[in-house]
Amino acid sequence: MNSHNKKISGFFQVAKLKLVSIFGNWKKLKKNNYNQQRRSEQMDRQLVYSLSPKKIPNSNQLKHLQKILGPKEKIWLRVAGLILVASLLFLGVKFYRDHLELSPMSGGSYSEGLVGTPKHINPLYNFNQDVDSDISTLVFSGLFKHDDNGKLIADLADKWEIGEDSKSYSITLKDNVKFHNGDKLLADDVVFTFEAMKNPDYNSPWHQMFLGAEVEKVDDRTVKFSLGEPYAPFLELLTFGILPQNLWTAIDPATADLADFNLKPVGSGPYKFKSLVKNKTGEIKEYELESNDDYFQRKPYIGKITFKFYPNTQEAVDALNNNAVDGLSYLPHQNQTDVLAKNSMNFYKLKMSRLTALFFNQKANLYLSDLNIKTALALALDKSRIVSDILNGDAQVIDGPILPSSFVYNQDLKKYDYNLAAAAKLLDDSGWQKVTLNAEEAQRASSISAEEAAKDTNLSLSRDIAAYASSSGLEVAGNWRVKTPKAKGSVRQYLYVSLTIVDSASNLKVAEEIKNLWADLGVKADIKSVPVDRVEKDVIKPRNFEILLFSQALGSDPDAYPFWHSSQAGEGGSNLADYRNKDVDALLESARLTTDQNQRIAKYKKFQEIITTELPAIFLYSSYYNYPQNKQIKGFNKQVITDSADRFSGIADWYEKTKKKLKW
């Protein structure tokens, strides 16, 4: 058995050795074949390299690339090729997007709806005439104009120099300016226009503004203005358009306002008159301008401007909704919801040099001479709520006679933030008792007999309130402020004021909110609305108001002399509150005489401090100028305007058409 097992074991040992020998020979053979293949490939490469002095394969050699690459190498080569192509495509698209620029090109048109009709497109006569001023701004050029931020910049002026005494201004004109008829604009034209404004025969509303100023021609391109005394904002006045002397000297000054040139003007501005369309009654319905090829600055991109005129805002808005116009000259905030295609419009909110305030006339109501009462009235007004809820955010709250955008604005001036409790305490401490009558008490108050009133002080008070309310046309129910004199026989006093407004839907809403806020304090108010065409004659000139809600256009310079100097009080002046203060007079006089900016800042800050302390008016807000324009029109960059026509001062940058251009 053992012998048999040994034989079997020996058999397997021999078999194992043979298998090992066979496997070893196979591995050796495989290795030899691999080495032989490698040697063959190396010899092929050496042969290829030997055929070319360069290590980099040429085009003929690359034809045989597929024959020498292995399967894996071919796959990696294809992947690398795809990655390279994709990368090049990505970089190409990115370069195109990053460097493609849509630049403005000439052409296209713009149409705008205006409320009103043009009468005098003439710098001599467009004072306070928005439609005329709007078109005049495009047709005429002035010595200066305002940039997108309201800063004064040169227009026709090339350079200027102010004399050492600050009473003379030498201005040199650009030498490449032509009128639309081809005549060159020279110093003679500037002198003629200035003298015509001063000449009473022309009956220009600008007549009073330039009294005391003289102009002379130095040479063909230079004029010199001379003033009787220094006036810091003088350059701000030189934005009026320049007329061509050659065309106007033949026209009689007495009939100049009837001349054909008033509707078919010739100026030197970016656009020139092309045509107008009248209806059967002779009213102008459309007015067309075309770009001025000889404009001394860059020619505007937009080739044609058309104005269309409407009798009221609603019809103008309807025209905008019907795509009859591309924009509106102005959109009142109460009409914003009437605009239908809001997504296709840009609604620009431009800051304007204008403020709205409540001006006190203490001569008409002696209560308004009491600082405690005026302060209480100011503290009872929630100006932020008025702006947000009544004006839909289309204004900014202000606290003084100079706007926050001015370089002389005093950030530390006294502010009257809404504080009903503080307002009530002021009246309480001044002896003004607050009495509240509900509907039931009010109804009973009217029927209280004299005998009942004599027995009960409260009943007596209620009866007197009812009698006063009846005589004044006021509701009995509500809050009252009553002062009962201690002396026997003296008549009770009731804190009641009259608020006058210029008739408009917006003003009425604001006035109603003011009335309600004062009612919370216990101060009664009634509202008197006056048509806009009667305000100057019936209200402002005779100072026929107690409290006047009114807006004032301030201009781009902080000079507040016309609005707060004592000389401007009384009939005909713009000092609506008839405010008189010697310190304020001195500050305003000296501030307008110096050109030293630091001195002006210091003086105007002190002026604001005095005004907001003495409170001759409650300063409410500065409304934005809402300017809707179709999004197809691009390039509008205005932020601040002095008047409505200022929206066009950068019109040369507007464009409708674009072209593609690669920027390297």
- C-alpha 301: how far from its chain's center? 23
Domain shared by 161 and 263, yes or no: yes
Residue 518 has pLDDT above 60, yes or no: yes
Residue 158 CA to residue 222 CA, distance in Å, equals: 10
Say how many residues make up the chain: 664
259 domain-assigned: yes
Domain shared by 588 and 468, yes or no: no
| CA distances in angstroms from 461 to 347, 438, 470, listed in the order given | 54, 14, 14
1 domain-assigned: no
Task: State the average pLDDT over residues 8-22.
Answer: 54
Average pLDDT, the chain: 89
Quick: pLDDT tens for 104-146: 889 999 999 999 999 999 999 988 889 999 999 999 999 999 9
Of the pLDDT bands very low, low, confident and very high (cuts 50, 70, 90), residue 19 is low
Query: What backbone phi and psi angles, to 5 degrees, belong to 336?
Result: -65, -35
| CA distances in angstroms from 244 to 46, 118, 200, listed in the order given | 92, 20, 19
Residue 608 CA to residue 616 CA, distance in Å, equals: 12
Domain shared by 449 and 592, yes or no: no
- The tokens describing 555, both together, are 């201009």
pLDDT at 1: 47
This prediction's pTM: 0.80
**CATH number of the domain enclosing 547:** 3.10.105.10
Residue 385 CA to residue 460 CA, distance in Å, equals: 38
Domain shared by 359 and 414, yes or no: yes
Contact 209, 203 (CB under 8 A): no
**CATH number of the domain enclosing 646:** 3.40.190.10
- CB half-sphere exposure, 476, CA atoms < 13 A: 21
% of residues, the chain, pLDDT over 90: 69
Q: Which residue has the higher pLDDT, 386 or 72?
A: 386
Cβ-based burial of 454 (10 A; exposed 0-12, middle 13-18, buried ≥19): exposed
Residue 346 CA to residue 322 CA, distance in Å, equals: 16
Task: Tell me how many domains the chain contains.
Answer: 3
Of the pLDDT bands very low, low, confident and very high (cuts 50, 70, 90), residue 415 is very high
Residue 39 CA to residue 30 CA, distance in Å, equals: 14
Q: Which residue has the higher pLDDT, 86 or 178?
A: 178
Of the pLDDT bands very low, low, confident and very high (cuts 50, 70, 90), residue 8 is low
pLDDT at 593: 93
Last residue of a domain, one of 494, 516, 537: 494
Residue 403 CA to residue 558 CA, distance in Å, equals: 9
Residue 42 has pLDDT above 70, yes or no: no
Of the pLDDT bands very low, low, confident and very high (cuts 50, 70, 90), residue 41 is low
| DSSP label of 492 | P
260 domain-assigned: yes
Classified as helix, coil or strand, 629 is: strand
Domain shared by 273 and 378, yes or no: no
Q: Which residue has the higher pLDDT, 51 or 400?
A: 400
pLDDT at 540: 94
pLDDT at 24: 56
* CA torsion through residues 255, 257, 261, 263, sign: negative
Give Cβ neighbours of residue 107 (< 8 Å, ≥ 6 apart). 301, 302, 303, 656, 657
Angle of the 505-521 helix axis to the 371-379 helix axis, nearest 10: 110
Residue 4 CA to residue 61 CA, distance in Å, equals: 70
- Supply the Cα-derived Rg of the chain in whole angstroms: 42
Domain shared by 465 and 606, yes or no: no
- The tokens describing 662, both together, are 């690669």
Contact 549, 510 (CB under 8 A): yes
Residue 520 has pLDDT above 80, yes or no: yes
Least confident interval from 402-406, 538-542, 632-636, 656-660: 656-660
Contact 639, 148 (CB under 8 A): yes
325 domain-assigned: no
Residue 301 CA to residue 526 CA, distance in Å, equals: 53
Contact 264, 135 (CB under 8 A): no
Domain shared by 159 and 295, yes or no: yes
Classified as helix, coil or strand, 583 is: helix
Residue 608's identity, in one-letter code, is Q
Last residue of a domain, one of 446, 464, 494: 494
pLDDT at 35: 65
639 domain-assigned: yes
b/e 188-199 (16+ beta carbons within 10 angstroms → b): ebbbbbbebbbe
Domain shared by 488 and 515, yes or no: no
- C-alpha 584: how far from its chain's center? 30
Classified as helix, coil or strand, 615 is: coil
Range of the domain at 607: 354-430+495-624
pLDDT at 94: 76
Domain shared by 521 and 380, yes or no: yes
Residue 211 has pLDDT above 70, yes or no: yes
Domain shared by 180 and 298, yes or no: yes
Residue 505 CA to residue 509 CA, distance in Å, equals: 6
Residue 370 has pLDDT above 70, yes or no: yes
Residue 63 has pLDDT above 80, yes or no: no
- The tokens describing 617, both together, are 């008016």
Contact 397, 621 (CB under 8 A): yes
Domain shared by 489 and 500, yes or no: no
Residue 266 CA to residue 181 CA, distance in Å, equals: 7
Q: Which residue's entry shows tokens 């390297």? A: 664
Strand extents, DSSP E, 279-344: 284-291, 304-310, 327-328
Domain shared by 167 and 215, yes or no: yes
Q: Which residue's entry shows tokens 């894996």? A: 72
- The tokens describing 114, both together, are 């205006």
